[in-house]
Amino acid sequence: MASLTSKISISEINSLSDKQFESIFGGVIELCKDAAVQVKKKCPFQSLEALCDAFQTYLQDLSLEDKVVILKLHPDLAGRLADLGQLTQESTEEQKAAGLDKLTSEQKRILEERKNRYNEKFDFPFIICARENKIQSIMEGLQVRYENSYKEEVAIGINEVKKICRLRILDIVKE
């Protein structure tokens, strides 16, 4: 999270108030402050891995319906919110890392077409860890994953959210 000037340690995390913890970790799962509220209850954490595991477990233990809610909290890749500059700071940086801010008009058209088809089928946005992918792999992922079943795609989407969450935690916490 770029707003922090320096990373914080596990011991510092363990001494945070509930409000401080929520403020710092409220965005590691896109727009889901409840994750931070629930994970804070697991304090103290013995390590960075234990903190990451607590967020991973939070996601894994959600019902199918709640997992879909989490997926729907994520913005479309290179979508309207990005065009308007209204993404969270984390999403803005992640989409830039994938090159989604530099799409040609043809790439944007193809991406929009594939995203719309995907959204119509699954009723949630295509989720992929942008920092681990570039434009071509995102385009291919939209094609390949469109063939999945609803349950498969929810599971894959949540696994991508876990990757995003972990990277966001690593941006905040020093080992």
Q: Which residues are catalytic?
A: 74
Do residues 88 and 30 lie in contact, with contact meaning Cβ atoms separated by under 8 Å? yes
Q: Tokens for 93? A: 């940086």
Neighbours of 35 (CB within 10 A): 24
